Structure formats: C-alpha cells, structure tokens
Amino acid sequence: MKQRRDLSPIILSLLLLLGILSLSFLRHCHGIGAWAGSSFDLDMLFAGLYALWIAAESPVARHDADTAGKRTVDLGTCLVYAMGQAGTILSALWFPSFWHASSPAHFMAIALFLGGVLFRLRAIRTLGRFYSHKVRKLEHHQIVQIGPYHLVRHPAYTGMIASHAGVTLYFCNWVTLGILMLVLAPSIILRIFVEEKMFFAIEGYSEFAQNGKRLFPALW
C-alpha cells in the first residue's frame, strides 16, 4: 500500500507566501512605510526577497512531505517554529513601523537579512539529504563538519535568526520584536536541545560538539 504524503509543509509554505504577497501589496496600496510616496518602494523589494527565500526552500518542504508515517522527534517544536517565522514577517508587514523616513538602517537590515538567508541556504545545501525541517534520524546519518558547519553546529538556525533580525530591524515595531524574542528564538533554542538529544547518540557528535558552539562562534 502506497504511503500517504504529509502535505502540511507544502501547504504552510504556500499560505505564508500568499500572506506575504497579500500584505506587501496592501502595504504598498495604502502608502504605509518609510518608503511610501517615493519613486521606489523598498518594502516591496524586501517582501519579494523573502518570497524568493521561501521558494528556494520549497524543495525541502516537498521532501518533508515524504516523511509521513516516519518517526520524528519534533515534540511539537516544528509548529511553534513555523508560527514564529510566519508571525515575525507577517507582523512586520502589518504593523506600523517606527521608521517614518528612509534611513541607513534599512540598508543595514537588508544586508543582515541577505547574509542570514545565504548562510542558511549554504548550510542546507552542505547538509544535503540529511537536512529536514522535521527532527528525524536517517539511516547512515553522518556528522557534517565542512562549510558553515565548521563555524557552528546549527548554521541553518543561525541564518534563520540573523535573517529575521534583519526583518525586525527593517520594519521595526514592538510586535515583530516581541515575536522574534519570545516565540521564534525560544523555539529555535528548544529545537536545538531536542535535536541534540538525538544527535549525541550518533557516533562522532560528542567530539564535534566539543569543538564548536551551537549558534554563534565564541558565544553559544
């Protein structure tokens, strides 16, 4: 009997993409944001870049759809993590920003966002078939120590935090900052502990953990 596919990762990605495009369009039409009235709406560009990021990770969502019926150890963290990501970008597009005029902070935020996204995508590509949005152990699971994994143990999460710090700095409102600090970041930290409980059972991970920090070099 053919195994049913879990389409929830794909559906959630499409819903987030639709929400971003809809809110950014409404934001532009109503002239909301520091770039309202200017000849070039940088907010729309930012939203477009975020949408491209979702599209770039869509192969992971399609791959996760094939994990239906397979044992995962998420402990519910995947849903909270997804809600934190969606809440950060959607609240950023919905709520008024503290910025009332364009400033160098906008370009610093875009640089931080792009740096985080590229670092994350590099981590995903380096991990290859072992990467998933769900916490699960594959047969012949190996410890990867090259590329971004030479710098930190969880570079995909480092990129996630950095990119959404860029989102928060760019749109700059209390709601987005609160979701980043109280939902997204804690869910990532919790997922790291959940993942590492599984990883420490893999040969070689203990030695790997002794030689590198989890998220940020020289910090944690």
Q: Mind listing the pLDDT tens digit for each residue in 117-155?
A: 999 999 988 887 777 767 666 556 677 778 888 888 889
d(CA 125, CA 207): 23
Q: Say if 215 falls within a structural domain.
A: no
Question: What is the number of structural domains in the chain?
Answer: 1
- Domain of residue 130 covers 8-210
Q: What's the CA gap between 163 and 161, in Å, rounded?
A: 6
Residue 157 in domain = yes
Amino acid at site 13: S
120 part of a folded domain? yes
Percent of the chain past pLDDT 90, that is, above it, reads: 36
In a domain, 160, yes or no: yes
Angle at 191 between CA 15 and CA 62, to 5 degrees: 40
Q: What is the pLDDT of residue 3?
A: 52
CB 131 within 8 Å of CB 124: yes
Within-domain flag for 126: yes
Looking up residue 91, the CATH number of its domain turns out to be 1.20.120.1630
Amino acid sitting at position 132? S
Give the tens place of pLDDT for each residue, 6-29: 666 677 888 898 999 999 888 877
Q: Are 93 and 20 in contact (CB under 8 A)?
A: yes
Stretch among 58-62, 178-182, 209-213 having the lowest mean pLDDT: 58-62
Structure tokens at 206: 């203990």
Query: pLDDT tens for residues 27-42?
Result: 877 777 766 666 678 8
Task: Confirm whether 65 is domain-assigned.
Answer: yes
Is 60 within a domain?
A: yes
**Per-residue pLDDT at 171 exceeds 50:** yes
pLDDT score, position 69: 46
Q: How far apart are CA 186 and CA 84, in angstroms?
A: 9
Q: What DSSP designation does 149 have?
A: G
Would you give the DSSP letter of residue 143?
-
- Residue 219 pLDDT class (50, 70, 90 cuts): confident
CA distances from 62 to 23, 49, 160, 219 (A): 25, 21, 19, 34
Residue 2 lies in a domain: no
